[in-house]
Structure 1
Amino acid sequence: MTAGRRRFITFEGGEGAGKSTQVDRLAARLRARGQEVVTTREPGGSPTAEKFRNIVLSGQAKQFGAFAETTLFAAARLDHLRETIEPALRRGAWVICDRFMDSTRAYQGALGKIKPGVMRALEFVTVGDTVPGLTLLLDLPPEDGLKRAAKRGMGRRADRFESEDIDYHRSLRRAFLDIAAEEPKRIHTIDAQKSPDEVAQAVWDDVAKTFALEKSRV
């Protein structure tokens, strides 16, 4: 592993980008190499944080505005880090997370118009120096992502964010790409319009290069 690179990988992107699928596939590939891998998600990832997840995704917090949602996410993230992520990293496990701080930057920061200073202060308190070693942004047009999300959720009510209009999701995509442009060393963008197999291979190639893994071992 490259010196200084934390074994903490996050996946970001809009609705239906395939994050959960690629989290599972990357985890399986690392486990096949004999590695301990913890997969997790946000909001959620610990018992207390999962309670916050239900509140946010059900839309109960929307009426109180973006700042209220942001503070709920921060509280959930603090517990998630303490209970799940940090213990795993300390024992040398890989941690792969479906969404993390960049989602808060995009959804509540850029789209919710929470001031950057407020976002930085909350990140300082919650994340501290536990910044991902690599973030993979799965990018695709929101029209395609929402179709995938609708198909995946057949019979299930759309959550707080899936139910927003197409202009919201177009703005969300731009926000993620802007965030990636600001931190190109940590955030790498992958074309999620390709097949799941092609995306999985692109993910693996990026992880192997970033963490200096031996490609001969699968």
Structure 2
Amino acid sequence: MRLGTPIPNFTADTTTGKIKFYEWAGTSWVMLFSHPADFTPVCTTELGHIAGKAQEFFRRGVMLLGHSSDSVARHRAWIEDIRSQYNITGQFPYPVIGDESRIIAEQLDMTDMRDPESRGVRVVYIIGPDKTLRLSMLYPESTGRNVDEVLRVIDSLQLANTTPVVTPVDWRMGEDVLLQPDVLPIDEARLFPRGVRRINLPSGLAYVRYTSDYPMPHECWE
């Protein structure tokens, strides 16, 4: 699934009931993350860690939606294991889609070309309020995801969604950002009144431009 692809308005059974994706998501950002099967060790650590970090996603206006190619009944039993391992009390913070038939996995291109009969791959999709795919991360079964990296990328996506900037390597919220290449020099003072810092390069081209003038998290996440 390519970046910018519209996400179809699929209907799914989940651990919290049936959902129609567009109605469920509303105008929020969504992180949809898939798993090949229930009761697997790496996936268990991921669902538990994401549950523990759920408030970090929610305060960014990001809804969470899990997926696994097993039944909702198996999901609910698996969630009890996850609760026990990660000391999660109260309501589990996000629904998990049941997809025994793999219809949704096929529809959202979450299958493994190396093994057409596999139960899917471990994907992270970040979906914008416009229901288009903004980020895709695909992981093999052997490697657990880095949740802090997912949050870092969401910060970058949401900032670039509202401000004409891009974020450099290893960027974290609060550090300097780069101006988008199509920002004209004549517009810099208007867009970034607190200043722009140019890097002098041998080419003589002023394409690396930094600024600290951008909204802080509470402004980006509203």
TM-score by length of 1: 0.30
Larger Rg: 2
**Larger RCO (CA within 8 A; separation ≥ 6):** 1
Structure with greater proportional strand content: 2
Structure with greater proportional helix content: 1
TM-score by length of 2: 0.30
